[in-house]
Structure 1
Amino acid sequence: MSTSHYLETALGAARAAEAVIRRYWEQGVEVTLKADESPVTRADVEAEEAIREVILERFPEHGFYGEETGKTRADAEFIWLIDPIDGTKSFIRRTPFFSTQIALMRGGELILGVSNAPLYGELAWAERGQGAYVNERRVQVGGVEHLRDAAISLGNVKSLAQGPAWGALGGIVGEVNRTRGYGDFCHYHMLAAGQLDLVVESDLNILDVAALSVIVEEAGGVFTQLDGRPLGLDSTSVLAAGSAGLHAEVSRRLTV
């Protein structure tokens, strides 16, 4: 497996963030609230600073869009999309369902993704045209075509229940083979590896899923917003599937 300079840099940045995260995981960290009342810690901020240092040392002309530090050079051809700890609430409560998300966008197209979940023990990555990997093993979606055979995972169920597609989603859940709610990075890693067939999620932002979308698509899956539109910087929902047929069926039913 060959890696580009971009992927080498992203993996190095993920390792730098992991060192920060593990230190605070072991010693503990104070929690504060942002303006939107979501939690943030020194681990979030310092992990993003570590990522920024690695990336911009190698590519100073690139743009950077971080969860904690905002946007710089937003008009650049290459823009890095960063969530240093996606799943801060899990980190705070000392459960391993959090990850570092690093994606690279070129001219509006997502071309690279790294998803590192150090306490869970999985590092996933993908680059356009190069396949998807979890812990250095190439992975592929399951390819299930029919709801009756599919395993689905739901994320942010509270906001899904408040949305217009809740009734249709209930019908889908009633037809699938298995329903779970793994959440955050975990169900996307599982989808890419053929361990799940559908993921439906709402109340998120592009920094949460940009890297994961590249990983799922390079594993052979389909990754869009709930209404079937491609991901963009303003995306707030996901419909991801392990086959085009399954995605088309669920998308049709959710948007009727």
Structure 2
Amino acid sequence: MDLSADLDFARSLADTADAISLERFRAADLHVSKKADSTHVTDADQAVERALRERIAAERPDDSFLGEETTADSGAEAMSEGHRQWVVDPIDGTANYLRGVPVWATLISLAVDGRPVLGVVSAPALGKRWWAAQGLGAHSLEGELHVSGVTELGDASLSYNSIQQWDDDDRLQALIDLSRKVWRTRAYGDMWSYMMVAEGVLDVAGEPDLRPWDIAALVPIVEEAGGRITSLDGDPGPWHGSALATNGLVHDAVVEVIRR
């Protein structure tokens, strides 16, 4: 399939999102509330998703939409909504956003029959953006993306996002076991860890307790950069509640350590 026009559209959606989110970033009157699952949501999250949903409805009326703030369900039900589905996280890293930490981004993906084939990750407070589409390579504002060539876990650099997440998912011991096998561990957090895998400056990034909109946009970028992204247990696609991205060369070794 030719995804060039869709990729151009997705990048224009990211421009729309950036204009809204940057204007509200560190705003004194930012409105913050809690959702039913006790996670935070800001007026910026809601405004970005509303704007992108309206543009998609107007410019891609035959496509369905899955977004964090306006869609209650995920998983198999989400995949059944249509052949082409836009999956949006208006602000990935809302906790950072509301505290004024610049590590956050809008995630935009197009999934065809449940498989993400296009992704844009736009982090305007960092001055960064990454994008990819199936067969078109992975790119950033600095150029084309390629994963690292590290082949041994003992030489690998890992970002695990949050100890609490791994502990809450009863995987803390697996994380500790993995940390003892890699060269270096850090918790850069959220989408940034996965983009650094695609850039080749990290070799492994992973976390449990995710939803499809947290993962979908990452998949094409990591894969088109030459890497591999699955669930923590090695299942393909963004529908399994977790993510593991690697340069591909160490993927099976990582899964062997952390799989339930």
**CA separation of 1:73 and 1:219: change in aligned 2, threshold 3 A:** closer
Q: Secondary structure at the match of 1:70?
A: coil
Could you tell me how far apart the structure 1 residues matched to 2:182 and 2:106 are?
31
Q: Secondary structure at the match of 2:25?
A: helix
Q: Specify which of 114, 117, 123 is matched with residue 120 of structure 2.
A: 114
Q: Secondary structure at the match of 2:38?
A: coil
Q: Is the 8 A contact 2:79 2:113 kept in 1?
A: no
Could you tell me how far apart the structure 1 residues matched to 2:27 and 2:232 are?
39
Could you tell me how far apart the structure 2 residues matched to 1:227 and 1:26 are?
38
Q: Secondary structure at the match of 1:64?
A: strand
One-letter amino acid of the counterpart of residue 176, structure 1:
V
Shift of 1:161: 2.4
**CA separation of 1:76 and 1:118: change in aligned 2, threshold 3 A:** same
One-letter amino acid of the counterpart of residue 139, structure 1:
L
Residues 32-58 of structure 1 deviation map (CA, whole Å, 9 limit, x = unaligned)? 111111111111111111111222222
Shift of 1:74: 5.3
Q: Is the 8 A contact 2:169 2:209 kept in 1?
A: no
Runs of 4+ residues over 6 Å off in structure 1: none
One-letter amino acid of the counterpart of residue 102, structure 1:
I
Number of the residue aligned with 2:64: 63
Q: Specify which of 69, 78, 83 is matched with residue 84 of structure 2.
A: 78
Q: Specify which of 112, 125, 128 is matched with residue 131 of structure 2.
A: 125
Shift of 1:172: 2.0
Q: Secondary structure at the match of 2:62?
A: coil
Matched, 1:93 2:94: no
Shift of 1:171: 2.3
Matched, 1:249 2:258: no
- 1:12-51 correspondence to structure 2 within 5 Å: 12-25=12-25, 27-28=27-28, 29-51=30-52
One-letter amino acid of the counterpart of residue 22, structure 1:
L
**CA separation of 1:227 and 1:21: change in aligned 2, threshold 3 A:** same
Residues 65-109 of structure 1 deviation map (CA, whole Å, 9 limit, x = unaligned)? 111111799532100000001111111000101100000001121
Q: Is the 8 A contact 2:3 2:134 kept in 1?
A: no
Q: Secondary structure at the match of 2:132?
A: strand
One-letter amino acid of the counterpart of residue 249, structure 1:
A
TM, length-normalised to structure 2? 0.92
Q: Is the 8 A contact 1:201 1:237 kept in 2?
A: yes
Q: Is the 8 A contact 1:154 1:200 kept in 2?
A: yes
Q: Is the 8 A contact 1:168 1:253 kept in 2?
A: yes
Matched, 1:150 2:156: yes
**CA separation of 1:248 and 1:136: change in aligned 2, threshold 3 A:** same
Q: Is the 8 A contact 2:147 2:199 kept in 1?
A: yes
Shift of 1:164: 4.4
Farther off after superposition, 152-161 or 106-115: 152-161
Ranges in structure 1 where 5+ consecutive residues have no aligned partner: none
Q: Secondary structure at the match of 2:159?
A: strand
Q: Is the 8 A contact 2:26 2:98 kept in 1?
A: no
- More relative contact order, 1 or 2 (CA 8 Å, 6+ apart): 2
How many corresponding residue pairs?
A: 253
Q: Secondary structure at the match of 2:15?
A: helix
One-letter amino acid of the counterpart of residue 228, structure 1:
G
Q: Is the 8 A contact 2:26 2:100 kept in 1?
A: no
Number of the residue aligned with 1:137: 143
Matched, 1:225 2:231: yes
TM, length-normalised to structure 1? 0.93
Cα-Cα RMSD: 1.9
Q: Specify which of 183, 190, 206 is matched with residue 184 of structure 1.
A: 190
Q: Is the 8 A contact 1:110 1:214 kept in 2?
A: yes
**CA separation of 1:175 and 1:74: change in aligned 2, threshold 3 A:** closer
Could you tell me how far apart the structure 2 residues matched to 1:143 and 1:24 are?
40
One-letter amino acid of the counterpart of residue 255, structure 2:
S
Matched, 1:11 2:11: yes
Number of the residue aligned with 1:210: 216
Shift of 1:27: 3.3
Matched, 1:240 2:245: yes
